[in-house]
Structure 1
Amino acid sequence: MATLVERAHELRPLIEEQAAAAEQERRLAVPVVGALTDAGLMSMCTPAAYGGAETDPVTLIEAIEAVAIGDGAAGWCSMIASTTSSMAAFLPAETAQTIYGDPQIVTGGVFAPNGVGAAIERNGVTGFAVTGQWAWGSGTQHCQWVLGGARCDDGTFRLCWFPQDDVDFHDTWHTGGMRGSGSLDYSVSDAFAPASYTMQPGVTPPVVDTPLSRFPNFTLLAAGVSAVGLGVGRHALDELNDLAQGKRPQYSSRTLAQNSFTQIELARAEAKLRSARAFLLDELDGAWATIAEGAAVTIEQRTSIRLAATHAATVGATVADAAFTLAGGTAVYDTSVLGRCLRDAHVVTQHIQTAPKLNEKIGQLLLGQDTDISMF
């Protein structure tokens, strides 16, 4: 049976074929959503107790990267849905089985506490009436369950799961990059979330205690976001390589591949991308080994992973920039894959978990300074 990473690579032709349509429609094409779901690439972190793959972080990153090589938006949606599925471990078992027990169900949403919840009882069930609107709802239009963070009047911060019928979607996703991810705004109004369909981040202990449930959630998310950047960067360099074999710039008798400047800059870009990828995977592997030994991931390890993830996101954009520039005027047309890679790569660096400004906090930790690590 093919591994998740192998399945992701096998889907590349379909993902590439549908990428232009996803950009046009500003959401993933239905065939791609179906193929990713069938391949288990939208729920890679679902606990084995509920029939999921319970994927280790290294495999997760390699699989997301492989999807993103085909199309950054597809990799982004696979990343969001899969990291969201890791939350299944913190829900009551019956709820988790209902939402995550069916491999055809996809979940997604936003952690940010943009909702407000009022503790109430409806039909004998205790829960919260939630109202709020969230931005960056990547792939939520193809999710059967959508979650959102809410501050509740009992003094708690909760992630709340809502069936899609309770969710309104807003046509806000008009962007430069990641157009195909469908990361529009969504909202709920007085939607009832039973208490059993909520959990408190950092407070609720895992119901299913596994190595993956003990891996820091934000660290996993940051690594996943950066994996998209690595995939986009890889796609850009592959596209440049293919283009360079035959393209002869105006007034030149040599192809791009025969041009010394192209050769030098491509070599540098390859070194940057491969190094960033190796750094990230090495740090994840070390942290996973720590958990396998029964210990907790240390703050030093979390810092190193966040450094590697932020660096990988930056490098993904850097090499996409280089490929775009080396390709010349060909790249500026809407039909150019390199144009899409350029735009998508720069969305990765805007994510709160991989933005360059995180280097300040990472530097503080490396220097032994006190700083807020609640999002680490």
Structure 2
Amino acid sequence: MSVEQDLVERARRMALEVAPRGAEIEAARQIPPDISRAMGEAGFYRMFVTADRGGLEVSPRTAAEVYEALAQGDAACGWVAFIAATTTLAFGRLTDQAVGEIMARSDSLATGVFAANGIATRVEGGFRVTGRWDWGSGSPNADWIGGGCILVEDGEPLKNSAGLPRNHMLFFARDQVTSLDTWRVSGLSGTGSTAFAVEDVFVPEHHAAGVLVKSLPDRPLYRFPAFSPLAQGVGAVALGVARAALDEATRVVGEKRRGGSSAPLSERAHTQIEIARAEARLRAARALFYQTIDAAWEAAQGSEPLSLDHSRDMRLAVNHAVAESVAVVDAMYTLAGGTSIYAVSPLQRQFRDIHVATQHFMVSPNILETVGRLFLGLPTTTAGF
């Protein structure tokens, strides 16, 4: 068994372990520390750290399969794994020293938010940083937390080649960060995606991505479109939740009887049609999702930059996967009837989790607008695409 196959198998085994703890995870509003440590030990937090720095450097497909498998056990676990893995892509612009410090332990967790909500003022040896970031998924358990910042020197923001303020991710040690208790939400509660803030903290220069290291490594992982792995994390979690809901509904209708009938709901034609439709929708969406990843990853093995067509196709596949996953979960929630509304039913949590996942900006309707313009050959802004 290859390293990548073994990683996916670990995720499947862990999904079986975390599934019975779903209510506990949701009530805690974060991944319990023992599960977080186990996820780190399994390698899920360093899937996109390059091999020369002690990482696994797996393909985007393998990473997505890990998130999908974890989400079948608990959506929050899959979500935190993809946030952690994609955060480490910023390590491509950090020094070896910085990466060694941030990932010092085998279970080290680094998370972050790329949005430039911080101001980093240049001082001797580094930066003084103040800022506040929302959506800090996984941050309650993180050893290091990154935040996007505008760099300021001599009172003026540093500009990029387009004349806009430069956005750099700076990494803060856990004890420099104040966690804000904002994460009281309808779904994905266990992700611990609370806001966090720093106030006039010092960050050494080598912990600022892109300051000392100007160019990315010449490796397939960094030839892959930069924002695609983040979007694929949302899609993979959605697919995992949908599979879990379909499996749970199948179990329920095989046991449940209604209206004094001695036959289970599975004997009804309506039930059979709904299950068949859900299987078709989910399998088709999943096939397109992984097909586009595989095509882009094959192209990334060459030395040339990937064409915009690959980004277009992957982003379309992600949005489609999420939309179809929502349709499957909704259908299964309805099919199971009143059983779905009880707190002991995984279906009620899967219903809430999937609808929160749809609110991520990586799968907003704007993405489909951009994709449509590209297919139509219209002038299109593709920044962040």
Name the amino acid aligned to 1:279: L
Shift of 1:288: 0.6
Q: Name the counterpart of 2:295.
A: 286
2:255 and 2:76 map into 1 onto residues whose CA distance is 28
**Other structure's SS at 2:135 match:** strand
SS of aligned partner of 1:353: helix
1 CA distance for matches of 2:142 and 2:119? Answer: 22
Task: With the length of structure 1 as denominator, give the TM-score of the two structures.
Answer: 0.95
Q: Structure 1: 5+ residue runs without aligned partners?
A: none
Question: Are residues 1:367 and 2:376 paired?
Answer: yes
Q: CA deviation at 1:63?
A: 0.9
| Equivalent residue in structure 2 for 1:276, among 274, 281, 285 | 285
Aligned residues: CA RMSD: 1.5
Aligned residue number for residue 133 of structure 1: 132
CA distance in 1, matches of 2:25, 2:272: 33
Deviations 1:68-102 (A, max 9, x none): 11000110001111111222222112212221353
Q: 1-side partners of 2:174 and 2:75: how far apart?
A: 25
Q: Which residue of 1 aligns with 2:199?
A: 189
The aligned amino acid for 2:206 is: S
Q: 2:229 aligns with which of 215, 220, 230?
A: 220
Aligned-partner Cα distance in 2 for 1:13–1:285 = 27
Corresponding residue number in structure 2 for 1:315: 324
User: Retained in 2: the 8 A contact 1:46–1:100?
Assistant: no
Task: Name the amino acid aligned to 2:63.
Answer: L
Q: Which residue of 1 aligns with 2:243?
A: 234
Is the CA contact (8 Å cut-off) linking 2:168 and 2:210 kept in structure 1?
A: yes
Structure 2 equivalent of residue 163 of structure 1:
173
Cα shift at 1:295: 2.3
Aligned: 1:6 with 2:5: no
Aligned to 2:81: 78
Structure 2 unaligned blocks of 5 or more:
159-165
Partner Cα distance (1:181, 1:117) in 2: 27
Provide the C-alpha distance between the structure 2 equivalents of 1:5 and 1:249, rounded to a whole number of angstroms. 39
Measure, in 2, the Cα distance between the counterparts of 1:356 and 1:262: 31
The structure 1 segments of at least 4 consecutive aligned residues displaced by more than 3 Å after TM superposition are 250-253
Deviation at 1:356, TM superposition (A): 3.1
Q: 1:47: which partner in 2? A: 50
- The one-letter amino acid paired with 1:57 is P
Aligned to 1:152: 151
Report how many aligned residue pairs link the two structures.
Answer: 370
1:260: which partner in 2?
A: 269
Q: Decide whether the 8 Å contact of 1:52 with 1:103 is kept in 2.
A: no
In the alignment, residue 8 of structure 1 is paired with which amino acid? A
2:163 corresponding residue in structure 1: none
Q: One-letter code of the match for 1:182?
A: G
TM-score using structure 2 length:
0.93
Number of the residue aligned with 1:111:
114
SS of the aligned residue for 2:361 comes to coil
- Among 193, 198, 217, which residue is 2:208 paired with? 198
More divergent stretch after superposition (281-290 vs 154-163): 154-163
CA distance in 1 between partners of 2:277 and 2:333 (Å): 14
Name the aligned partner's letter for residue 148 of structure 1. Answer: G
Q: Secondary structure at the match of 1:67?
A: helix
Instruction: Tell me which moved more, 27-36 or 178-187.
Output: 27-36
CA contact (8 A) 1:173 1:183 kept: yes
Amino acid paired to 1:151: I
